[in-house]
Amino acid sequence: MFSPPLFVVLALGRIVAGAATTSFKQCVELNVSVPVVATNHFFIQPRVDSTIDAVDWQQNTTTWSTPSAKDRIISENHINQNFSIHAQLCIPSQKGLKAGILQLATHGLGFDKRYWDVQVQPEEYSYLDATIRAGYSFLSYDRLGTGLSEKPNAYDTVQLPTEIEILAGLTKLARSGQLISASTILSTTDVSNETDILNFKPTKTVHVGHAFGSYLMTLMLGRPGYGQLSDGALMTGLLFNTYLNVLDVKSFNHEFAKEYDPVLFANYTSGYFVLGSKTDLQKLFLRKTNFDPALLTYLNEIKQPETVGEYASESTTDVLPANDFKAPILFFAGEFDWFLCLGNCTGTYNEAMTRQVFPNAIDPTPYLQPNTGHANTLSLNASAGYQVMYNYLGNHGL
Ligand SMILES: *[C@@H]1O[C@H](CO)[C@@H](O)[C@H](O)[C@H]1NC(C)=O
Ligand SMILES: *[C@@H]1O[C@H](CO)[C@@H](O)[C@H](O)[C@H]1NC(C)=O
Ligand SMILES: *[C@@H]1O[C@H](CO)[C@@H](O)[C@H](O)[C@H]1NC(C)=O
Ligand SMILES: *[C@@H]1O[C@H](CO)[C@@H](O)[C@H](O)[C@H]1NC(C)=O
Ligand SMILES: *[C@@H]1O[C@H](CO)[C@@H](O)[C@H](O)[C@H]1NC(C)=O
Ligand SMILES: *[C@@H]1O[C@H](CO)[C@@H](O)[C@H](O)[C@H]1NC(C)=O
Ligand SMILES: *[C@@H]1O[C@H](CO)[C@@H](O)[C@H](O)[C@H]1NC(C)=O
C-alpha cells in the first residue's frame, strides 16, 4: 500500500488543522502615532551610563540631604510631538453582547504589554485570552520606552506627564474609532475578514492597569477633561493604604540596561535601567506558596527597563481629584502584596483616601486576591481573579 512520506503527512496535518481551527480571537498589531502635548521637567540628577552609575544614582537620589525632585527642577520641558507606540487590538471572533466594550490595558514598571498575555500556560494566566473569552475586546500597548515602542531620552522625555498624555491620546483615538487610521498595521493574526477589526469602534471603554499603569490611569482621570474618557476602571496592583510608598527605589537594585544585556537591550541608551536579579523580581512581584518558579524565570525573560525620568517625575506630578470620573472602579490587589501594603493588605484599605482621589466614582470597591503578591497575572489562581474583575464589571452593566 502506498503511504506518503512522514513529512508530507505532517505538513498536510498542519494545513488541515490550520484551516479547520478558527481562533476565538482576531488581532492586529499596530504602530500607533500618538500626538502628545505635555509639560515635563529638566532635573538635576546624575547620569546613568553604567551599572556603577545606576547604584550611584540610587544612593544619590535617596540620600537624606539630597533635595526633593521638586527642588531639583531646572526648568520646564515642553513636549509637542508624535510618539510611535506599539499596540495590539484583539476582538472576539464570535461577536457577543460585550464585544463593543473595549478594555484598554496599561502595564506597570518593569514590564511591557506581555504582562497581560503570559505565555506560560496561557489558558490559566493570559489576561488577554481570558478577557476575549469573556466577550470583551482588548487593546494593550507598550508604554513609552518599553517593548517595541519608541525609546526616547530617558531623562527628559520618558516622564509621567508625557505618559499620561499617551494614555489619554490612545484612549481618544480608540473611542473615536480612529485608532487604525492613526496607525501602521504591522501584522494581523487569525483575521479572515478585516472589516470588523479595522472598523472597530467601542461603545464603552474600560481602563485596566497594573501598579504604575494603574497609577498613570489615576493621574490621567484627574486631568481636566479626561475623567469622561473612561466608563470603568480596573486598578490592579493598586490600593490606597497607609503602607503605600513605604518601599521605594531604595528597596530594589537596578543595573544599566545595555550593560546588563547588550543584545536584548541594544536599543536602550543612557538613563535606562532594569531590575538585575531574580531575587529582586521575586521580592517585588511574587509571593511564596503562590507562584510557579517557571513564572519567575519567564518574568526574568520578559522584564523591561525603566527610566531615570520616570522616578524623577513621580513626585513632581500631582494627583488631582478625578471629579469627572463617574464610573465604577475596582481596586484589585494581592492579599500579600509586599510592595503595595508591606506584605499584608488585609485591613489596610483607606476609603477616605480613595474618596479624595475619586470623589464621584460609582461603587469604589477593594478586592484582595487570596495568597497573591504584586503581579497577579503571574500568580497561581490568576484566572479565578480575572472572573472577579469581569463579575464586578458585569454587575455594573459592563
Ligand atoms: C513606527 O512608525 C515610525 C514612523 O511613524 C517609525 O519611525 C518606526 O520605525 C515604526 N516602528 C515600527 C516598530 O515599525
Ligand atoms: C547627586 O548628583 C548631583 C548631580 O550629579 C550632584 O550635584 C550631587 O552633589 C550629588 N549628591 C550626592 C549626595 O551625591
Ligand atoms: C503629528 O502627526 C500629525 C499627523 O501626521 C501631523 O499633522 C502633526 O503635524 C504631527 N505633529 C508633530 C508635532 O509633529
Ligand atoms: C466581512 O464582514 C462584513 C461585516 O461583518 C460583511 O459585511 C462582509 O460581507 C464580510 N466580507 C466577506 C468577504 O465575507
Ligand atoms: C533595535 O532597533 C532596530 C531598529 O528599530 C530593530 O530592527 C531591532 O530589532 C531592535 N533590536 C532589539 C534587540 O529590539
Ligand atoms: C494580615 O493582617 C490581618 C489584619 O491584621 C491579620 O488578621 C492576618 O493574620 C495577617 N496575615 C498574616 C499572614 O500575617
Ligand atoms: C482563587 O481565587 C478566587 C477568586 O478570588 C477565590 O475565591 C479563591 O478562594 C482562590 N483560591 C485559592 C485556593 O486561593
- On average, the pLDDT of the chain sits at 93
How large a percentage of the chain has pLDDT more than 90? 90
- Given pLDDT bands bounded at 50, 70 and 90, which one contains residue 133? very high
Of ligand 6's listed atoms, the one at least distance from the Cα of 347 is 4
What is the rounded average pLDDT of the residues 225-235?
98
Residue 13 has pLDDT above 80, yes or no: no
Stronger pLDDT, 246 or 114, i.e. the higher one = 114
Question: How many A from CA of 368 to the centre of ligand 7?
Answer: 10
Question: How many A from CA of 182 to the centre of ligand 2?
Answer: 42
Q: Ligand 7 pocket, 385 CB below 6 A?
A: yes
Question: How many A from CA of 156 to the centre of ligand 2?
Answer: 18
**Nearest protein CA to atom 14 of ligand 6, as residue:** 344
Question: How many A from CA of 265 to the centre of ligand 5?
Answer: 9
**Nearest protein CA to atom 5 of ligand 2, as residue:** 46
- Given pLDDT bands bounded at 50, 70 and 90, which one contains residue 20? very low
**Nearest protein CA to atom 14 of ligand 1, as residue:** 31
Q: Ligand 4 pocket, 292 CB below 6 A?
A: no
* 232-236 and 25-43 beta bridge pairing: unpaired
| Residue range 184-199, pLDDT digits in tens | 999 999 998 899 999 9
Q: Ligand 3 pocket, 343 CB below 6 A?
A: no
What is the rounded average pLDDT of the residues 359-373?
97
- Given pLDDT bands bounded at 50, 70 and 90, which one contains residue 248? confident
Give the position of cell 547620569: 47
**Nearest protein CA to atom 7 of ligand 6, as residue:** 346
* pTM for the whole structure: 0.94
* 101-106 and 137-141 beta bridge pairing: parallel
- Predicted local distance difference test score (pLDDT) of residue 21: 55
- Predicted local distance difference test score (pLDDT) of residue 170: 98
Of ligand 2's listed atoms, the one at least distance from the Cα of 44 is 4
Residue 3 has pLDDT above 70, yes or no: no
Of ligand 4's listed atoms, the one at least distance from the Cα of 194 is 1
Q: Ligand 7 pocket, 391 CB below 6 A?
A: no
What is the rounded average pLDDT of the residues 357-383?
97
∠ CA 20-199-96, nearest 5°, is 55
Residue pair 109/211 in contact (Cβ under 8 Å)? The answer is yes
- Predicted local distance difference test score (pLDDT) of residue 126: 98
Enumerate the β-bridge partners of residue 104. Answer: 139, 207
- Predicted local distance difference test score (pLDDT) of residue 290: 83
Distance between CA atoms of residues 170 and 34, nearest Å = 7
Q: Look at 73-82, 122-131, 173-182, 186-195 and tell me which has the smallest mean pLDDT.
A: 186-195
